[in-house]
A = this chain, B = another copy of it.
């Protein structure tokens, strides 16, 4: 019996299954818990999807997202908990306490940082999304996938792979996507809901940030800033700066992209993206921050020119180390 079949088997004999998203839930976590809940509902089980941080607006189109709860009462009779994409149980945020004393813990993840907790574990760091791991469980529970579950799972796959363009994409990712589209999921509609629903202020802010783009270190470093003044001019909130540092990836030859966000006067949140041999987290760690090689961040105090100068110095050190490696 495969781990997926074992999990399907264990869940369908339970009375009330609690499916937990991680804090700041993404499309992969939400799509996966909702698809699995749907399959359990179809089998007549009680299943509750929990998300301590609720459902971000861009994911409210997901079928069943209106039934996601931020908390459940004690004594709800939960006899199984599924932790979705939670490297530790604590990643479920305030809802983690609801798992205490529950007899069956299921841990489904694809992050190398997973702590290996739980009674049943479905862990595959080679999966591009946990949606890939949940798909066979859903199939085992409901052999005829409905369009709503297919939409949830395709959202999981698309959002965790940048629409099938990350290095994590395998033949399996695309084969599953093919079956999900055959079952009634529409990639164009999902893409529109998730990525094409931005307010004009967000696009104006992106525009201002890109207009002020600076490229230095022989084209290896690109940086820009979002100031409080720019937010006022664009009529935008700082959340709308999401995606700006990613947009700098479109530049050829850039190894480090940096966005300086003025959180308040003399305080900047600095987001870093690394490419190739450059380790973004090493740069961030010099300022007490962290992350991975591809994406990291830290907070720094001072004027913008001062923070920029100190950051560029740390970047130059890492570029030297990367070149020597």
Residues of B within 8 A of A202 (CB): 250
Instruction: Using A207-B208, A252-B198 as known contacts, say yes or no to A165 and B188 having CB atoms under 8 A apart.
Output: yes
Determine if A197 is an interface residue (Cβ-Cβ < 8 Å). yes
Q: Is A248 in contact with B203, judged by CB distance below 8 angstroms?
A: yes
> Does A104 interact with chain B (Cβ within 8 Å)?
no
Q: Answer whether residue A100 sits at the interface, using C-beta atoms and an 8 A cutoff.
A: no
- In the complex, how many residues of chain A place their beta carbon closer than 8 angstroms to a beta carbon of chain B? 52
> Nearest-CB distance from A41 to chain B (Å)?
26
Residue A24 lies at the interface, judged by CB distance under 8 Å to chain B: no
Does A269 have its Cβ within 8 Å of any Cβ on chain B? no
Interface residues of A in 183-227 (CB under 8 A from B): 186-191, 195-200, 202-204, 206-213, 215, 219, 222
- Give chain B residues whose Cβ lies under 8 Å from the Cβ of A169: 181, 187-188
C-alpha gap A170/B191 in the complex (Å):
15
Give the CA-CA distance A291 to B181 in the complex, in Å. 28
Cβ proximity bits A244-270 to B, threshold 8 Å, 1 near / 0 not: 000111111100000000000000000
Measured CB to CB, the nearest residue on chain B to A199 is B252
Q: Are A174 and B178 in contact (CB under 8 A)?
A: yes
Residue from A162, A187, A222 having most chain B Cβ neighbours under 10 A? A187
A321 contacts B by Cβ under 8 Å: no
Answer yes or no: A158 CB below 8 A from chain B CBs.
Answer: yes
Report the bound CA distance from A27 to B196 in whole Å: 24
Given known pairs A167-B186, A222-B200, the reply for A210 and B206 (CB within 8 Å) is yes
Q: Quick one: closest B residue to A214, CB to CB?
A: B200
Q: Is the CB of A174 within 8 A of B165?
A: no
- The one of B164, B173, B196, B252 that contacts A252, using a Cβ cutoff of 8 Å: B196
Minimum Cβ distance to chain B for residue A172 (Å): 8
Task: Please tell me if A175 contacts chain B, counting CB pairs below 8 Å.
Answer: yes
Chain B nearest CB, measured from A171 CB (Å): 4
CB distance from A112 to the nearest CB of B (A): 18
A163 within 8 A of B: yes
Decide: B211 and A204 in contact? CB cutoff 8 A: yes
Beyond A163-B165, A173-B178, A177-B178: 10 further Cβ-contacts under 8 Å?
Answer: A165-B187, A171-B181, A172-B178, A174-B177, A195-B250, A198-B251, A203-B210, A203-B248, A204-B211, A207-B209
Q: List 30 A-B contacts (CB under 8 A).
A: A158-B164, A158-B165, A162-B191, A163-B165, A164-B164, A164-B177, A165-B188, A165-B191, A166-B188, A167-B186, A169-B188, A170-B181, A171-B178, A173-B178, A174-B181, A196-B251, A196-B252, A197-B252, A198-B251, A200-B213, A200-B219, A202-B250, A203-B213, A203-B250, A204-B211, A204-B213, A206-B207, A206-B210, A207-B211, A208-B210
Closest 3 CB pairs of A and B: A207-B210, A197-B252, A207-B211
